[in-house]
Amino acid sequence: MRIGLYPGTFDPITLGHTDIIERAARLVDRLVIGVAINRDKGPLFSLDERVAMVRQECSAITGCEIVVHPFENLLIDCARDVGATVIIRGLRAVADFEYEFQMVGMNRAMDSSIETVFLMADARRQAIASKLVKEIARLGGDVSRFVPAAVGDALKSRLT
């Protein structure tokens, strides 16, 4: 069984994330969505809220078994914990690549048996970033083109 891990903070999950999840689900038998606790980022939503949002948005995605798994340890350790042989990462722009390139090098140094696969963001989704979505919502803008409807409602409720 091929197990993939798609990690992120998902604060909140966006249509860019769901695009990568849908495409990754066609590549593996089980896709683990690793929701990072990452207290350093100061998330808007609690871990439980982010996990619930990811579960809700992934419930209709087909192609493989999808499991949502919160984690606070190193990404490579999380991959080992869930039995992943591949880490799936989304790329939006060159700036993403530079950071991801360093991460791959460090992860391979810690465990060369776990591969990293990059999926390019769909052209319609390349500009979407959770940080920008939160800023737009905070300033009263319409985020409906960037996040699922339920996530947009949660943002509006949280920020008003």
Residue 69 known to be catalytic = no
Residue 17 known to be catalytic = yes
Active-site residue, from 30, 69, 92, 158: 92
In angstroms, the CA 146 to CA 159 distance is 16
Handedness of CA 54, 78, 19, 3 (dihedral sign): negative
Count the neighbouring beta carbons within 10 Å of the beta carbon of residue 59.
8
The β-bridge partners of 8 are: 35
Residue 55 known to be catalytic = no
Count the neighbouring beta carbons within 10 Å of the beta carbon of residue 68.
19
Residue 41 known to be catalytic = yes
Active-site residue, from 17, 50, 125, 134: 17
How big is the CA angle at 154 (ends 60 and 73), to the nearest 5 degrees? 75
Cα-to-chain-centroid distance, residue 41: 14
Tokens of 97: 């690549």
Count the neighbouring beta carbons within 10 Å of the beta carbon of residue 53.
23
Active-site residue, from 26, 41, 145, 156: 41
The β-bridge partners of 34 are: 7, 69
**Which residues are catalytically annotated?**
17, 41, 92, 130
